[in-house]
């Protein structure tokens, strides 16, 4: 895979496929982590005299312009972080985009509008996707892939466009791939994997692949209740994917046979109802019960204090640790303690610790941790998981060709 050092960018139009898919609340960015992550690549290109054209998706618009998914707030924040104005084009491949790019001087940066405002970006039809890639290619002389959060997507700007231009990986993708190799090919042991989040189905392929690689797998979050149900426990109103119980039973059996330690919650924080995240109203019937004694009318919403201590003890001696998915509804203070405890344990461990993007990365920042306390915070939850599943990622494959 070529890197920025392999490209002669001075005076050239360089198309940077970034991941500016930041969370917005009424048009205000609530976490600029993904913008900061691509900043070194954009700054390096600008300093080398490139005319930098930045493109990204944001949210899930349905192939047409939608103001609530505009990249304008991200473009403005990018300019603030770079310390100089960034031009913004109000379309993707139309007159505004061409005017913005044609107006660039060496060292300047422009952001074009949300790629998903055009149906060709995400089309499953190779011809339609290719036609959109052709129109994007007309905006540039070179391509740099640095949107790690999108490399698992076979989209025009990720998969088709690199084939049309001389291309290289940006600094972020270079770093992300290097980190993932330490979780797959160059693992220091003990290797501890902590998985959470809502659905066990989202993590099955990862568990399947890691059963032969990890030394310990810790399970929290909503997905834990399917594991507890597989052990014959009542889980009340908790998230349960009943159809996955046979698969989960098989994984528990395989783990025992292969010597992989599976660690499940021993106690959980419960309530009758899901907390109100908007008002942050106190939870009146908050309680902690043994994981084997969840009442039928209650819902498990976080791991309990005994589990927090157990998980921390299983993380303490790790040499390598990967964490993807919160332990509970961390957005509400009543159910944030489990996620906070895992983050704290990782921060204190001597392990090479990787926080696998998505909600886990957001939780680390929201709960007030310094990113420097962790070995790496990934910008791509889905991409990280698919890499760990052993899949070939279209965006990486395109950069390697």
- Tell me the binding residues: 19-21, 34, 57-60, 116, 153, 203, 300, 331, 357-360
Q: Which of 120, 147, 304, 382 is catalytic?
A: 382
State how far the Cα of 191 lies from the Cα of 214, in Å rounded to an integer.
Answer: 5
Quick one: tokens of 331?
């957005």
Binding residues for ATP, by number, are: 203, 300, 331, 357-360
34 is catalytic: yes
395 is catalytic: no
314 is catalytic: no
Q: How many CB atoms lie within 10 A of CB 279?
A: 8
Q: Which of 36, 199, 254, 365 is catalytic?
A: 199
Give the DSSP per-residue string, 32-73: -HHHHHHHHHHHHHHHTT-EEEEE---S---SS--GGG-SHH
Quick one: tokens of 355?
């926080």
Radius of gyration of the chain (CA): 22
State how far the Cα of 148 lies from the Cα of 174, in Å rounded to an integer.
Answer: 9
199 is catalytic: yes
Q: Between vectors from CA 90 to CA 62 and to CA 16, what angle results, nearest 5°? A: 85
Give the DSSP per-residue string, 63-92: SS--GGG-SHHHHHHHHHHHTS--EEESSS
Q: Which of 12, 34, 77, 213 is catalytic?
A: 34
Closest CA to 291 of 266, 258, 322, 321: 266
Largest CA distance in the chain: 67
Peptide bond before 190: cis, by omega within 30 degrees of 0?
Answer: yes
Binding residues for substrate, by number, are: 19-21, 34, 57-60, 116, 153
The DSSP bridge partners found for residue 87 are 110
Quick one: tokens of 252?
């528990």
Q: Which of 120, 328, 358, 381 is catalytic?
A: 358
- Catalytically active residues are 34, 199, 358, 382
């Amino acid at each position: 895979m070529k890197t920025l050092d392999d490209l002669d960018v001075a005076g050239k139009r360089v198309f940077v496929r970034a991941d500016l898919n930041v969370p917005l609340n009424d048009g205000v960015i609530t976490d600029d982590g993904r913008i900061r992550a691509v900043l070194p690549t954009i700054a390096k290109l600008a300093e080398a005299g490139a005319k930098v054209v930045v493109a990204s998706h944001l949210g899930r618009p349905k192939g047409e312009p939608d103001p609530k998914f505009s990249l304008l707030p991200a473009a403005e924040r990018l300019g603030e972080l770079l310390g100089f104005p960034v031009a913004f084009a109000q379309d993707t491949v139309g007159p505004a985009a061409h005017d913005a790019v044609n107006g660039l001087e060496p060292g300047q940066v422009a952001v074009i509008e949300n790629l998903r405002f055009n149906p060709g970006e995400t089309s499953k039809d190779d011809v339609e996707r290719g036609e959109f890639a052709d129109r994007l290619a007309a905006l540039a002389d070179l391509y740099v892939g640095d949107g790690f959060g999108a490399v698992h997507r076979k989209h025009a700007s990720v998969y088709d466009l690199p084939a049309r231009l001389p291309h290289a990986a940006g600094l972020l993708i270079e770093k992300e791939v290097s980190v993932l190799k330490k979780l797959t090919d160059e693992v220091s042991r003990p290797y501890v994997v902590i998985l959470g989040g809502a659905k066990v189905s989202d993590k099955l392929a990862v568990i399947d692949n890691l059963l032969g690689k990890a030394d310990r797998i810790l399970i929290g979050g909503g997905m834990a209740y399917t594991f507890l149900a597989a052990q014959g426990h009542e889980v009340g109103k908790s998230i349960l994917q009943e159809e996955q119980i046979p698969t989960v039973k098989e994984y528990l059996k395989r783990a025992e046979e292969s010597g992989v330690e599976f660690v499940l919650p021993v106690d959980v924080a419960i309530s009758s109802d899901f907390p109100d995240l908007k008002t942050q109203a106190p939870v009146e019937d908050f309680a902690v019960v043994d994981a084997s004694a969840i009442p039928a009318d209650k819902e498990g919403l976080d791991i309990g204090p005994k589990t927090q201590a157990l998980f921390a003890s299983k993380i303490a001696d790790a040499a390598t640790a990967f964490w993807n998915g919160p332990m509970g509804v961390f957005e509400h203070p009543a159910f944030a303690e489990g996620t906070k405890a895992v983050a704290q344990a990782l921060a204190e461990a001597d392990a090479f610790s990787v926080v696998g993007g998505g909600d886990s990365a957001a939780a680390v920042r929201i709960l007030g941790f310094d990113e420097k306390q962790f070995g790496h915070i990934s910008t791509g939850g889905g991409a990280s998981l698919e890499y760990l599943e052993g899949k070939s990622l279209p965006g990486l494959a395109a950069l390697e060709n």
